[in-house]
Amino acid sequence: MKTNLLFKSLAVAAALGLGANGAMADTFAVGDGTFLLNDEPFVVKAAELHYPRIPKEYWEHRIQMVKALGMNTVCLYVFWNIHEPQEGQFDFEGQNDIAEFCRLAQKHDMKVIVRPGPYVCAEWEMGGLPWWLLKKKDIALREQDPYFMERVKLFEQEVGKQLTPLTIENGGPIIMVQVENEYGSYGVDKPYVSAIRDIVKEAGFDNVTPFQCDWSSNFTNNGLDDLVWTMNFGTGANIDEQFAKLKELRPNSPLMCSEFWSGWFDKWGANHETRDAKDMVEGIDEMLSKGISFSLYMTHGGTSFGHWAGANSPGFAPDVTSYDYDAPITEWGTVTPKYDLLRTTLQKYSDKKLPAPPKANAIIEVPQFEFTEFAPLSAGVQRSTQSRDVETFEALDMGWGCAVYQTILPALPMGGTLFINDSHDFSQVFLNGQYIGKIDRVKNDKAIAIPRCAKGDTLSILVEAMGRINFGRAIKDFKGITDGVTIQADDEGHEVTYDLKNWTISLIPDDYEIAVAALEAPAAPAKERGYYRGTFNLKKTGDTFLDFSTWGKGQVWVNGHPLGRIWSIGPQQTLYVPGPWLKKGQNEVVVLDIVGPTEAVSVGLKEPKLDNLNLEKTNLHNNPGDRPDLNSATPAAAGQFAAGNGWQTVKFDSPATGRYLAIEALSTQNGKDQVALAELYALDSKGQRLSREPWTAKYADSEKEQGNHTADKVYDLQESTYWQTVPGATLPHLIVIDLGSEQTVTGIQYLPRAEQGAPGSIKDYKVYLYK
Ligand code: GLA
Ligand code: CA
């Protein structure tokens, strides 16, 4: 059989390796149903750690932490955009020194799995792709666009220079290398994935075991014959089910879950995510009892410092700064009950007594201090351009920060409605300098009412960029105003549309140096938008959590180190400050707040606040006025779903048209009232999946907000997240999706929860489309 041959030839290639020091190096190979380390069966127990999310001073500490947990491998992504901040300028020094990170792993006798992208997802700005790729406006990302492929190749060559001396055949710790990342949730394109494989091999990883990771539901779409296939899934998933298809297609393949999700990431405006420790450990125990390799994503999540947190989609959901992930090791590097429980289990599968975890780093308090210096946002403007049309940040050669778009209005005697198409991401609108309101992409806002104004009045729109989307087709996420701005107004009984032109665009990049320069001539703080500086003194340094719960929205630097983003809506209200970034004596804190604080103070706490939501409105979709009356409506389909995990398709007898898609759950497979639904697609007239990017949740009769099981989870492209009704709410249940515009639909695809028995899965259903 073809697959058998592949596995043997890899084994032979690796077995010939000599180490850099001339001694026989270790060998790593793919054997029959197992990985082989020095020809002995080897179960990979990997801990996913991200070097840019851990201050370099703590790298070794965290590696020792995962070693003490019972892991034998470290798994890491390579984040292209931190290594090539500008086209052609590479940086692998200091905090970016990936080779050093791998050497530290080796020092502690840990193997390494490298995942060099080029796309990595990871809740990281643009999934690791550099923003400057978007200067080529028509670029096709993660496809065989010549410019994209040329830049990928140059980058991977640089990664090769750093890391190929550390492959196992060269006496280093690197045993496996990943090709692309979960391509199945992006598209179907084997030629592209093959081209990435070739680039990675040509970069010098030709003798390291190459693999792909994907979901059990889609891995065959892009699976290449000569790569090992591994599955990604989360805590609670039905493990046999996850590997069933792979076992059928490749009975001799070693089994590996290359991302077993220990917890989940947090989004601004949604509750802190957690996953049960016992469920997580049971999943690992089950895999190990079956000889299945795994990488625990994340074992320690760390922090998305600076502006590096990404955003999820569909439904624009920017990620918070903390990447704690409810992982076994906290964001700040301490043990948790999850850690202890997992360590006990991993001890069972280790023939040696596990080493004790290293000592925890000191945590300190900082007494409340005030921000006494202030400069207005305008002091940070670096450049202004005149342009007939609005331009994106990328077109104006700016990666991150804010821009002010300003123009002169026509007379609007009755006022009007202002539309920003599209606002990426958080816009504040001003009329003659007076604040009118905001257009928030997270809330899917598109328009705002403006009061009556005279000819010649000034409109200003301050747009702040959040992280670029890191998942799905929307990763091509331009910042600023992407298309245009219009006003609809009533002119003596008929509607007029003004397409606003002739803009002055002022750019405010989010650099520390700019903030400091702006503060050179400080004024007294006035609770306005702008730059703030405060200081505090320390006798002893240590980790701490600076509290920003009285602030608006923006970014923070401590002694010049970017700490990350803040936003009053939460759930995160504090920022992690690593002890090594503090010093004895005076410490400086600079804040850029584009909304303005209610009180310009902070305090260093001993514990973070990661779960304090502070919303204007709830995230529920239960407005009674949005509930359709379906009593006399004819369903597009009605029937019974099958029981069990996995996707199911319903084809309508005849196409149905409408803007709103309603699913009514009349009964459940387990006879209980609680319903859950993980993912939903609508099929177009060709039977293809409609894009879900314009989708929003219109209505759900019941949503479990605790745990973020709101209705939008049915189209967030994540199979492990789901809409769930609250316990006690009785059947039937109803969910309504706004498709964004009228569509003709010929069927739906439905995915119940991934857990064993698909809890909450629907039995009798009715589907409706209405206008
Ligand atoms: C996927 C990706 C990861 C990460 C996780 C969610 O598995 O491969 O990079 O985004 O989802 O945390
Ligand atoms: Ca989902």
Q: How far is the CA of 169 from the centre of ligand 1 (A)?
A: 29
Place of tokens 């400086």: 588
Distance (Å) of CA 759 to CA 392, 642, 669: 45, 13, 8
Q: Stretch 46-74: mean pLDDT, rounded? A: 98
What is the tens place of the pLDDT at every residue in 261-289? Answer: 999 999 999 999 999 999 999 999 999 99
Q: Among candidates 577, 523, 532, 576, which has minimal Cα distance to 550? A: 532
Give the catalytic positions in this structure: 182, 259
Does residue 231 line the site of ligand 1, with CB under 6 A? no
What is the separation of C-alpha 642 from the centre of its chain, rounded to a whole number of angstroms? 32
The whole model's pTM is what?
0.95
Report the nearest atom of ligand 1 relative to the CA of 259. Answer: 7
What is the tens place of the pLDDT at every residue in 533-568? Answer: 999 999 999 999 999 999 999 999 999 999 999 999
**In this structure, which residue's CA is closest to atom 5 in ligand 1?**
122
What is the tens place of the pLDDT at every residue in 423-478? Answer: 999 999 999 999 999 999 999 999 999 999 999 999 999 999 999 999 999 999 99
CA torsion sign for 384, 385, 390, 395 is: negative
Report the nearest atom of ligand 1 relative to the CA of 470. Answer: 10
Q: What is the pLDDT of residue 391?
A: 98
Res 12 pLDDT > 80:
no
Q: How far is the CA of 128 from the centre of ligand 2 (A)?
A: 23
Q: Which residues, other chains included, contact 755 with Cβ-Cβ below 8 Å and sequence gap of 6+?
A: 236, 237, 238, 645
Q: What is the pLDDT of residue 527?
A: 87
Q: How far is the CA of 682 from the centre of ligand 2 (A)?
A: 14
Mutate to test the pocket of ligand 1, among 76, 179, 235, 297 (most ligand atoms within 8 A of CB): 297
Mutate to test the pocket of ligand 1, among 53, 218, 259 (most ligand atoms within 8 A of CB): 259
Q: How far is the CA of 747 from the centre of ligand 2 (A)?
A: 19
**Model confidence band, residue 524 (pLDDT cutoffs 50, 70, 90):** confident
Could you tell me the maximum CA-CA distance found in the chain, to the nearest angstrom?
A: 89
DSSP secondary structure of 451-473 = --B-TT-EEEEEEE--PPB-SSG
Report the nearest atom of ligand 1 relative to the CA of 120. Answer: 9
Q: Among candidates 327, 278, 332, 277, which has minimal Cα distance to 123? A: 327
**In this structure, which residue's CA is closest to atom 6 in ligand 1?**
122
- d(CA 575, CA 173) in angstroms, rounded, equals 34
Of residues 285 and 491, which shows the higher confidence score? 285
What is the tens place of the pLDDT at every residue in 708-748? Answer: 999 999 999 999 999 999 999 999 999 999 999 999 999 99
**Model confidence band, residue 25 (pLDDT cutoffs 50, 70, 90):** confident
What residues does 300 pair with on adjacent strands?
329
Report the nearest atom of ligand 1 relative to the CA of 264. Answer: 12
Distance (Å) of CA 542 to CA 490, 578, 585, 589: 61, 7, 13, 16
Q: What is the pLDDT of residue 253?
A: 97
Task: Provide the 10 A C-beta neighbour count for residue 97.
Answer: 17
- d(CA 330, CA 674) in angstroms, rounded, equals 32
Q: Among candidates 85, 163, 118, which has minimal Cα distance to 511? A: 85
CA torsion sign for 181, 210, 46, 62 is: negative
Report the nearest atom of ligand 1 relative to the CA of 265. Answer: 12
What is the separation of C-alpha 748 from the centre of its chain, rounded to a whole number of angstroms? 27
Cα angle vertex 555, ends 552, 559, to 5°?
130
DSSP secondary structure of 575-641 = EEE-GGG--SEEEEEEEEESS--SS-EEEEESS--------SS-S----GGG----TTPPPSEEEEP
What residues does 693 pair with on adjacent strands?
none
Res 8 pLDDT > 60:
no
Of residues 8 and 349, which shows the higher confidence score? 349
Res 2 pLDDT > 50:
no
Does residue 208 line the site of ligand 1, with CB under 6 A? no
Does residue 180 line the site of ligand 1, with CB under 6 A? no
Output the six-digit token pair for 243.
């590997």
Q: What is the pLDDT of residue 708?
A: 96
Q: Among candidates 514, 421, 423, which has minimal Cα distance to 465? A: 423
Res 519 pLDDT > 70:
yes
What string of H, E and C letters represents the secondary structure of 627-678?
CCCCCCCCCCEEEECCCCCCCEEEEEEEEEEEEEEEEEECCECCCCCCCEEC
What is the tens place of the pLDDT at every residue in 560-595? Answer: 999 999 999 999 999 999 999 999 999 999 999 999
Output the six-digit token pair for 721.
């997240």
**Model confidence band, residue 662 (pLDDT cutoffs 50, 70, 90):** very high
3-state helix, strand, coil in the chain (%, to 5): 20, 35, 45
Does residue 121 line the site of ligand 1, with CB under 6 A? yes
What is the tens place of the pLDDT at every residue in 370-423? Answer: 999 999 999 999 999 999 999 999 999 999 999 999 999 999 999 999 999 999
Q: Stretch 154-175: mean pLDDT, rounded? A: 98
Looking at all shown ligands, the one closest to residue 720's CA atom is 2
Res 78 pLDDT > 50:
yes
Does residue 284 line the site of ligand 1, with CB under 6 A? no
What is the separation of C-alpha 446 from the centre of its chain, rounded to a whole number of angstroms? 23
Res 125 pLDDT > 50:
yes
In 16-164, alpha helices (H):
59-69, 80-83, 98-107, 146-163
Phi/psi at 146 (5° precision): -55, -45
Does residue 163 line the site of ligand 1, with CB under 6 A? no
- d(CA 461, CA 439) in angstroms, rounded, equals 10
Task: Verify cis geometry, omega within 30 degrees of 0, for the bond prior to 173.
Answer: no
**Model confidence band, residue 22 (pLDDT cutoffs 50, 70, 90):** low
Q: Among candidates 341, 331, 252, which has minimal Cα distance to 54? A: 331
Which percentage of the chain shows pLDDT scores above 90? 95
Mutate to test the pocket of ligand 1, among 182, 222, 308, 323 (most ligand atoms within 8 A of CB): 182
